[in-house]
Chain A
Amino acid sequence: MNPKIFASIAVVITGLVLLYGVSDFPTFGDPRSPANSGVEGGAPSTSLYYINESYSATKVPNLVTSVLADYRSYDTMFETVVVFAAGMAIFAILRCVGKDDGAVVAPQRKSSIDGDHNRIIVGMTCRLAVPVVQIFALYVIAHGHYSPGGGFQGGVMLGASFILIALAGNLEDALSRLSERSYMALAALGILIYAGFGVLPQVLGKNFLDYGALQKILLTDGPEMARSHSMLGVEIGVALTVMSIMFAIFANLSSRGTLKGGL
């Protein structure tokens, strides 16, 4: 029998079972649902603790940032390591360093955005847009405490600005601004910054990633502001890693690991 019929039967059965279970779920937007306020007669939901207490403990109004970079920072650190490991895996799978092993390289597109008079409109637009994108990305990273934003979002934007250069011109243009050596170093540096903010409190005799202990180094008045400033440092580390790995993924995938030619 056609495998598509088997697939349809399996999918429909799964969907029906899930929809049957869904009828017992809380209604959409209910503030009294277990996820939002805890079980009746049981412990209140963790989110209530974050909403009520996290501002006085960290002085960061954006709860997503404070939960991400302080309460769950151990988790976030290893999420960043996963992104880094994905970049390394793509390097290991695709990148052919040294002699060309017969790979079909797309012919180098003669379309640099630097001084190519045949592409003056695209080149100028790209060269004007990229600084704006990058400054907005830096704002998103640095202002992630007070408005929606943070290291992951800003890092993806920074990576996208380099991908824009590669798409508007060619890969050589982007690589002349962020070479392979630099993005690999920046990706590792991001992890190092994050782990450094974890190890520093240990040196001062507190737990791993216990930012409050950095009060003496950061010269803040109180451990709360030390937590807030350390979160900014951690977000910068995340942004460096995410930016480098996003660009590395694009550069390797679009040129089949040769970093020449490409899209």
Chain B
Amino acid sequence: MVEFFLNTVKPHFNFWVYVILMMVGLWSLIAKNNLIKKMMGLAIFQTAIILFYVSLGVKDGATIPVLEHYGDYAEKAEPAGPDASKPASKPAPNPASMPAPAASNPADAFANPVPHVLMLTAIVVGVATLGVALALCEMIFKEFDTLEEDELLRKIKALHDDA
């Protein structure tokens, strides 16, 4: 059991967390009867996806993708260009501003900015769409006096039978 955790779970623990959170969200989306609880499940699901993306951009020993003192760094470092993926021949020149001085590639000192960009907008748009969902719930409650799904279906069916 301990070996399973050390060898299988620990190197991928971010993915395990994301899968478990996603299962929680998916379960409440399917099994819960109340519309507000379903939306909570949707929010948990969304958080799981955001965690997944952000954890993809993590590099060991790297700092946030803000290039402080980049001016000195860019002038003294090797010209990057097309062979940026190959290890630079000399280490980063200014260890004080480089958190990972032993990094073989200068870019390894900074976390991957792309997942951050994608998730930044996704969070705000998620809040806005959650607001729309809550507004719809409020109108449903005003019309039917309930947010339980089975009662809603019964009342809608009764409306159709009357008509």
Report which A residues bind B (CB closer than 8 A): 3-4, 6-8, 10-12, 14-15, 18-19, 22-23, 25, 27-31, 33, 35-38, 44-53, 55-56, 61-64, 67-68, 72, 75-76, 79, 82-83, 86-87, 89-90, 93-94, 103, 146-148, 150, 152-153, 155-156, 242, 245-246, 249, 252-253, 256-257
Chain B 1-27 residues near chain A, CB threshold 8 A: 8, 11-16, 19-20, 22-23, 26-27
Count chain B CB atoms within 10 A of each CB in A22, A23, A63, A156 and give the residue with the most: A63
Alpha-carbon distance between A253 and B133 when the two chains are bound, in angstroms: 11
Query: A64 contacts which of B16, B117, B127, B128 (Cβ < 8 Å)?
Result: B117
B132 and A86 within 8 A (CB): yes
Count chain A CB atoms within 10 A of each CB in B11, B20, B117, B142 and give the residue with the most: B117
B128 and A249 within 8 A (CB): yes
Closest chain B residue to A83, Cβ basis: B128
Q: How far is the CB of B78 from chain A (nearest CB, A)?
A: 10
Sampled A-B contacts (15; CB under 8 Å)? A7-B27, A8-B31, A23-B8, A28-B12, A29-B60, A31-B59, A47-B112, A51-B65, A62-B66, A64-B117, A82-B125, A82-B128, A93-B132, A152-B121, A253-B134
- Asked if B156 lies at the interface with its beta carbon under 8 angstroms from chain A, I say no
- Cβ–Cβ < 8 Å partners of B134 in chain A: 253
B115-131 Cβ-contact flags toward A at 8 Å (1 or 0): 11100110111011101
B105 and A37 within 8 A (CB): yes
Closest chain A residue to B79, Cβ basis: A52
- Cβ–Cβ < 8 Å partners of B139 in chain A: 93-94
Report which B residues bind A (CB closer than 8 A): 8, 11-16, 19-20, 22-23, 26-27, 30-31, 55-60, 62, 64-68, 70, 74, 80-81, 84-85, 103, 105-108, 110, 112-117, 120-121, 123-125, 127-129, 131-132, 134-136, 138-139, 142
Q: Are A11 and B26 also in contact (CB < 8 A) when A25-B12, A37-B85 are? A: yes
Alpha-carbon distance between A61 and B56 when the two chains are bound, in angstroms: 22
Q: How far is the CB of B90 from chain A (nearest CB, A)?
A: 15
Query: B19 contacts which of A18, A155, A156 (Cβ < 8 Å)?
Result: A18
Alpha-carbon distance between A115 and B114 when the two chains are bound, in angstroms: 49
- Cβ–Cβ < 8 Å partners of B103 in chain A: 31
Query: A67 contacts which of B27, B105, B114, B125 (Cβ < 8 Å)?
Result: B114
Closest chain A residue to B55, Cβ basis: A28
- Cβ–Cβ < 8 Å partners of A15 in chain B: 19-20, 22-23
- What 14 new A-B contacts, CB under 8 Å, besides A36-B112, A63-B67? A11-B27, A14-B23, A22-B12, A22-B19, A28-B15, A28-B55, A48-B107, A62-B65, A62-B67, A64-B66, A76-B121, A89-B135, A146-B66, A146-B68
B60 and A67 within 8 A (CB): no
A90 and B114 within 8 A (CB): no
Alpha-carbon distance between A150 and B113 when the two chains are bound, in angstroms: 14
Query: B60 contacts which of A23, A31, A45, A53 (Cβ < 8 Å)?
Result: A31
Query: B121 contacts which of A44, A68, A147 (Cβ < 8 Å)?
Result: A68
B138 and A94 within 8 A (CB): yes
- Cβ–Cβ < 8 Å partners of A29 in chain B: 58-60
- Cβ–Cβ < 8 Å partners of B56 in chain A: 33, 35-36
